[in-house]
């Protein structure tokens, strides 16, 4: 049985609800979050997952603008 994971955001004590590819940690770091480094997966609690989704949609929008040229 897998034990409960904590959120990968430093100083966050919440249990993770999502396990994500570590590529998303770049987005979080760019936004000013610090991450615990011990894991090669990104674990996020509900709050920080919401935060990431917000940041990700912003990135996607920028990407679209850039492609529009
Ligand atoms: Zn968290």
Q: pLDDT tens for residues 14-36?
A: 999 999 999 999 999 999 999 99
The domain in which residue 33 lies consists of 18-68
Q: How confident is the model at residue 38 (pLDDT cuts 50, 70, 90)?
A: low
**Residue 60, helix vs strand vs coil:** helix
Residue 63 CA, ligand 1 centroid: distance in Å: 26
> How many domains, in total, are found in the chain?
1
Residue 44 in domain: yes
pTM above 0.85, yes or no: no
Residue 64 CA, ligand 1 centroid: distance in Å: 28
> 31: closest CA among 61, 56, 64?
56
Residue 44 CA, ligand 1 centroid: distance in Å: 5
Residue 10 in domain: no
Residue 13 in domain: no
Residue 9 in domain: no
Residue 58 CA, ligand 1 centroid: distance in Å: 20
* Main-chain dihedrals φ then ψ at residue 21, nearest 5 degrees: -65, 140
């Amino acid at each position: 049985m897998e034990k409960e994971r904590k959120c990968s955001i430093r100083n966050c004590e919440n249990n993770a609800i999502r396990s994500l590819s570590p590529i998303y940690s770049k987005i979080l770091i760019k936004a000013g979050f610090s991450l615990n480094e011990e894991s090669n997966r990104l674990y996020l609690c509900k709050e920080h997952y919401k935060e990431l989704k917000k940041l990700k949609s912003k990135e996607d929008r920028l990407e679209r603008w850039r492609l529009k040229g």
